[in-house]
Structure 1
């Protein structure tokens, strides 16, 4: 489970004697002897005595993951933190009222209530906007929330702005193809539950001070994949990354002090960048 191995249960296969799973955070396979070690305390993936078993089960797991595209980014899952559930329930309460504009994401979206509060008041206070961002969320947490009340009574929403995936990168350096699948699941849910809404997928914002930052590079690869969801009709893609950066690709403290979360100036950049699209959507 999430608390034990930082990997979702469905990322593995098992037999009566052995269990193998893939750990996204460390990008390695772990193998356990379920008879000798039923509590899964010590992986034997590097033990020569288990080489044959490891290779056979690794091949089986790789085949299954590829065939079914089953991985942590697409299986909706709530988080265990009490504060998280309280915020989720608070958003469900707000969602009882019909809104025109939905913002869906993680801490960067939640930050509209912090560093971005003034900008939110300026741009969205009179547009029936709803903030559906929770700090630390990955795609799988958003999927769960959308299926469990966040979209209640939002069938008439006019637009949804989606910016998610940087925690899939930051927490486990997840493969971009898997993050893409998670974003795709979110978009599919929005299409079904908000049938009149235009969906604006934003490229995952840049992170790390310099262009060669490994996590920024992972986000760039994610963006290359999710950009393909754009159809110019109900689904639109917009990458505003360059607007946060200097001409040399530097992410300054004036925009994002920790090279991840925007300060007020960053939210102003965000709002200005998407305003033409929102007007295009009739907002």
Structure 2
């Protein structure tokens, strides 16, 4: 039985890889990408390894090649992450019961740590750095929902939203979107993925405000990592999305820097094997303070 399962996983992964390689080899000169909000389809002479990216003239969103992983919906079943699908189905089912929210938080583990993640079956799932401030939001009367998944990248969020995690009959005043730090692709690909997520949300619920937060500063344990440089470049692109399709860009990057050195303030982070990536309790306090400012929440912090 185990051999059959391993064989199945291997075949699935090889099929996906072959499909992506085939697209990039045989269709490099006429690639197509369409934004979810119904904008004009673009035809591009663009190879996957090209440094050139084209923006739709009618929107600020970056348009990238069709096979770009950052915009291609993908679940995490191939990673043998059973908890991921269990949590996904739980969220989908929850919207069948309750559909009205003031704020829905969408993202990765940084979003997940606002409260205890009972679905994530690893030690990190017990971390609750933001719980104190999450409870503060609840006590203030805000109807909130946490849709953060450990390890998620833009393509995973796209898959989730396209598979029931943001139904058309939802009533949501604001979505807070913080995603992208886990993506390994180029800064323009990451920005394209975030734009695609925003497009899906807007097309589904045009009246919902979308607060796209800047990706937080990070200091990787690998001294040769350039991920934070990439983060800063992504944030520059995200800033251009402000004001389009009910999007507000919230630049909170500097709030996590040391005011004297202008480098990452490690005192606002929990150190783990990857470095300083996840805020600690004090860091979540800073984030909520910034959210209160951006959304006029009226919280005394």
Alignment TM-score, normalising by the size of structure 2:
0.69
Q: Please name the residue that 1:250 is paired with.
A: 263
Q: Give SS of 1:230's match.
A: coil
User: Matches of 1:9 and 1:120 in 2, distance apart?
Assistant: 44
The offset of 1:79, in angstroms, is 0.4
Q: Is the aligned partner of 1:182 residue 2:179? A: no
| In 1, Cα distance between equivalents of 2:282 and 2:220 | 16
Query: Where does structure 1 lack aligned partners over 5 or more consecutive residues?
Result: 22-58
SS in structure 2 of the partner of residue 229 of structure 1 = coil
- Is contact 2:215-2:235 (8 Å) kept? yes
* Distance apart, 1:87 and its partner CA: 1.2
Q: CA deviation at 1:70?
A: 2.9
Give the CA RMSD over aligned residues.
Answer: 3.3
Q: Deviations over 1:186-239 (max 9, x none)?
A: 000010112211110001111007999611111111111111110177111011
The whole-number CA distance in structure 1 between the counterparts of 2:163 and 2:82 is 16
String of CA shifts for 1:109-161, please: whole Å, max 9, x gaps: 00101111111010245211111110000000000101111113653210000
Counterpart residue number, 1:116: 130
Q: Distance in 1 between matches of 2:72 and 2:17?
A: 9
| Most deviating of 241-250 and 75-84 | 241-250
In the TM superposition, what is the alpha-carbon distance from 1:278 to its structure 2 partner?
A: 1.9
Separation in structure 2 between the aligned mates of residue 222 and residue 19 of structure 1, nearest angstrom: 29
1:91 maps to 91
Contact 1:78 1:145 in 2 (8 A): yes
**Partner of 2:156 in structure 1?**
141
Residue 279 (structure 1) shift:
2.5
Distance in structure 2 (CA, Å) of the matches to 1:116 and 1:60: 42
Distance of aligned partners of 1:123 and 1:60 in 2 relative to their CA distance in 1, 3 Å threshold: closer
State the match for 1:238 in structure 2: 250
For the 8 Å contact 1:109–1:163, the answer to whether it is kept is yes
Q: Which residue of 2 aligns with 1:72?
A: 69
Q: Which residue of 2 aligns with 1:13?
A: 22
Alpha-carbon spacing, 1:209–1:140, altered in 2? closer, same or farther (3 Å): closer
Any stretches of 5+ residues in structure 2 without a counterpart?
A: 1-8, 29-45, 54-63, 116-127
Counterparts of 1:161 and 1:183, CA distance in 2: 12
Q: Deviations over 1:240-283 (max 9, x none)?
A: 011111021333443112210011111110011011222279xx
Contact 1:12 1:20 in 2 (8 A): no
Q: 1:166 to 1:62 in 2, by over 3 A?
A: closer
Aligned to 2:216: 205
**Counterpart contact for 1:100–1:159, Cα < 8 Å:** yes
Where 1:157 maps in the other structure, the secondary structure is strand
Task: Work out whether 1:269 is the aligned partner of 2:286.
Answer: yes
Within-5 A mapping of 1:160-179? 160-168=175-183, 172=184, 174-179=185-190
Q: 1:77 to 1:218 in 2, by over 3 A?
A: same
Determine if contact 2:202/2:245 at 8 Å carries over to the other structure.
Answer: no
Call closer, same or farther: CA 1:256–1:62 in 2, change over 3 Å: closer
Q: 1:238 to 1:149 in 2, by over 3 A?
A: same
